[in-house]
Amino acid sequence: MYYSQLRAFHAVAVHGGFSKAAGRLHLTQPAISDQVRKLEKRFDVLLFDRHKRSVRLTEFGRQLLEITRRLFELEEEAVRLLTESQALRVGHLKMAADAPLHVVRLIGEFREKFPGASVALTIGNSDDVLSQVFDYTADIGVLADVPTDDRLLVITLRSDPLVAFVNRDHPWAGRKGVSLAEFTSQPLVMREKGSITRRIVEEELDRIGVVYKVMMEAEGREAAREAVAAGIGVGIVSRPEFGDDRRLQALDLVDCDRTMTESLVCLKERAHLRGIDAFWTVAREYIDRAAGPPAA
């Protein structure tokens, strides 16, 4: 309510006169004088001893100056914070992914380029990730098989084949590949409903008419991995997600051409935001490097 009046008073006190204060604030001298006069009249105080060639602070004016110094120092601090955030020297980006595998390296590159920016990453299945993007709890999502939706901006990160995996004591251990038709005789460890991996596997098994039995439904990839390692059944994941586990062996699916496509998504209406736009740029550069130079 009194911001303009306090600003005028502070400028006169700091710069030693009404004309100098007017120049600093890009106002006229009468406008500055009027603001200070209104402040004095409103509170019935005298802030300056006025002389023809100079003004001097009264004792009350000196006390007020100590307060306005703190006030405008805090204002400058707030502006610095906002400016740094705009330039991504500080800031916070919220991400959700269906697996950390495909995004942690991207986050590392983003942090290297913008070391002041922090990133929060939550993990869930593809349905969870998409929900977080749509309800604004995640700025960016990483998930498989993105639905067609005009609200989304999408970048494909990678596409990978599916592989089966078994524990080292399984009869299939030692083989290089297996056909989907052979799953008729095997108990399966499946991901939870809402998992894109599960949906693709079920579609492929139904496509060739395999009658299969789900022995265990596992919440998350780690749970599925541990179930297979315990001998409960056979699992299926994308090749990069299989990782390196000496308890397990991966097998090519010789009659399955489906792939797991991981994509980066955000809402088009939020793509202009500094953090999202910067991460998008880093992602495009990362994808271009991974693709390598174009063929001659």
**pLDDT tens-digit profile of 35-78?**
999 999 999 999 999 987 789 999 999 999 999 999 999 998 88
143 within 8 A of 97, measured Cβ to Cβ: yes
pLDDT the model gives residue 81: 77
What is the percent of the chain where pLDDT is above 90?
61
pLDDT of the residue at 116: 85
Q: Where are the domains of the chain?
A: 3-86, 91-157+261-291, 159-259
3-state secondary structure of 196: helix
Q: What is the pLDDT of residues 216-234, one digit of tens each?
A: 999 888 899 999 999 999 9
Q: Which amino acid is present at 130?
A: L
Average pLDDT in the 246-262 region? Answer: 92
Predicted pLDDT of residue 231: 95
Residue 86 pLDDT greater than 70, yes or no: no
Q: In this predicted structure, what is the pLDDT of residue 293?
A: 60
121-134 pLDDT tens trace: 999 888 899 999 99
Q: CB count, 10 Å around CB of 294?
A: 5
Residue 102 confidence class, pLDDT cut points 50, 70, 90 = confident
Within this chain, domains 91-157+261-291 and 159-259 share the same CATH topology: yes
For residue 24, give every residue at least 6 positions away whose Cβ sits within 8 Å of its Cβ, in sequence order, or none.
Answer: 11, 15
User: What band does 196 get if pLDDT is binned at 50, 70 and 90?
Assistant: confident
Class of domain 159-259: alpha beta
Considering only CA atoms, which of 155, 150, 126, 147 is closest in space to residue 138?
126
Task: Tell whether the model's pLDDT for residue 278 goes beyond 60.
Answer: yes
Chain mean pLDDT for the chain = 90
Fold that domain 91-157+261-291 belongs to in CATH: D-Maltodextrin-Binding Protein; domain 2 (3.40.190)
> Which pLDDT value is given to residue 61?
94
Q: How confident is the model at residue 188 (pLDDT cuts 50, 70, 90)?
A: very high
By 3-state DSSP, what share of the chain in percent is helix, strand and coil, each rounded to 5?
Answer: 45, 25, 30
Q: What is the pLDDT of residue 252?
A: 95
- Determine the Cα–Cα distance for residues 161 and 193; give it in Å rounded to an integer: 21
Domain 3-86 class, CATH top level? mainly alpha
- Report the pLDDT averaged over residues 171-186: 91
Q: Judge whether 165 and 239 are in contact, CB under 8 Å.
A: no
pLDDT band, very low/low/confident/very high, at 154 (cuts 50, 70, 90):
very high
Give me the amino acid identity at 28. Answer: T
Does pLDDT of 294 surpass 60? no
